[in-house]
Amino acid sequence: MTGNPPLDQIYTADEAAERLRTTRRMIIKVGRELGACSVLQREYLFSESDLLKIWHAKRALPVRGKTGFMKDLLVERDMESLRNALIAARIKKRRK
Q: What is the pLDDT of residues 30-66, one digit of tens each?
A: 999 999 999 999 999 999 999 999 999 988 876 666 6
* pLDDT number for residue 53: 94
Please name which of 19, 21, 23 lies closest in space to residue 10, comparing C-alpha atoms. 19
This prediction has a pTM of 0.59
Residue closest to 37 by CA, chosen among 95, 25, 96: 25
Beta bridge partners of 63: none
- Express each pLDDT in 13-26 by its tens digit: 999 999 999 999 99
The pLDDT of residue 45 is 97
